[in-house]
Every structure is written in C-alpha cells, then in structure tokens.
Amino acid sequence: MRSLSLTLILIPLLLAGTGCKRRNRGGGGQGQAFASNIYAGDPNATSRFAQGFYGVEENSWRWTAKDFAVDLSPPLHADQKGAQLVMRMAVPDGVIQKLGTVQLTASVGGHKLDPQIFAKSGTYTFTRDVPPADLQSDVVRIEFSLDHALDPTERDHRQLGVIVSEVSLIAK
C-alpha cells in the first residue's frame, strides 16, 4: 500500500516534468536546445549570453557592457501571437551616481523596442512586447544597448553597464 501511494504521488510529478520540456527547435548548436529563458547563474547558459556579458558573479548575475546580446528561442506560437521580452536587472548605485541616468534600448531582428530610462538605482523588470514578425526563426538574437556605461578603471578593466539576472521570452 505504501509503494502504491508513493507511485501515485510520483507519477504526476514525472508527467509534469516531462510536459515542461521544450522540443528542440534546432539552431542550438552541439545538440543543445535553446530555451525561451536564461538565468545568468546557469553555467549551461553561457553560450546564450552572446555578447557583452561578463562572468557569473555570486552564482546569480552578470555585469553587462554598454552593448550586449542574448540568443533565445521564441516560445511556442510566438511566430503567430508574439511574445513578451522580460529582463530582470539592477542598476547599481555607482552607475547612477557617476552617470545620472541610463537609457536601455532593446531590438529584435533590427526592430527597436521602446527604450526605458533609469534615474534611480535599484532592481527592475524591463518588459516589452515583441511582435510576431520578429519571432519567425528558431533562435532570436535580442540586442540591448545603453546610452552610456562606466568606463574601465585601474581597479576594474571592464566597461560596466547594468546587472542582469534573467532574460526571457514569454508566450502571449
């Protein structure tokens, strides 16, 4: 009876886990399926942080340069319904103190999305709608640009923009 109860509990969990897997839409290279979301601390996601990201810090976030990009797969049916771009990020106090404000712009397939200006330090969720026309391929490059970033210093030779913890394309 105990093993039957355990089986009845585990079967739904296993089914739920397999139902959440994304089919491989190709384009991931080396057999890796691209996901609709990536976490900065995930060591398996390094190749999807395509440009302008530095190494993982504190197992959860990455600094960006002034220009940075990610590669994501659109969620299912996004080529018909569009998707929502969501980036969880932070603007550090030092950036605001030195630069005053920071403007973030994103583009998908060359189509610029509405920019956002950050005048205060803190954590933010940058959210923009992405039209279906920009989500027609199996892997989409999302390019981000800041109007300015911190210049490298003697202590830190990196150009520093904002801190990113997660980037996603969410089905509408």
Summarize pLDDT for 68-121 with one digit per residue, the tens. Answer: 999 999 999 999 999 999 999 999 999 999 999 999 999 998 899 999 999 999
145: three-class secondary structure by DSSP = strand
Summarize pLDDT for 1-56 with one digit per residue, the tens. Answer: 443 333 334 333 333 333 343 333 333 333 345 689 999 999 889 999 999 999 99
Q: What are phi and psi of 7, to 5 degrees?
A: -65, -40
* CB-based contact 110:140 (threshold 8 Å): no
Enter the pTM of the model.
0.80
pLDDT value of residue 30: 38
- Rounded CA separation 95/140 (Å): 29
Domains of the chain: 2-171 (2.60.120.260)
pLDDT value of residue 125: 98
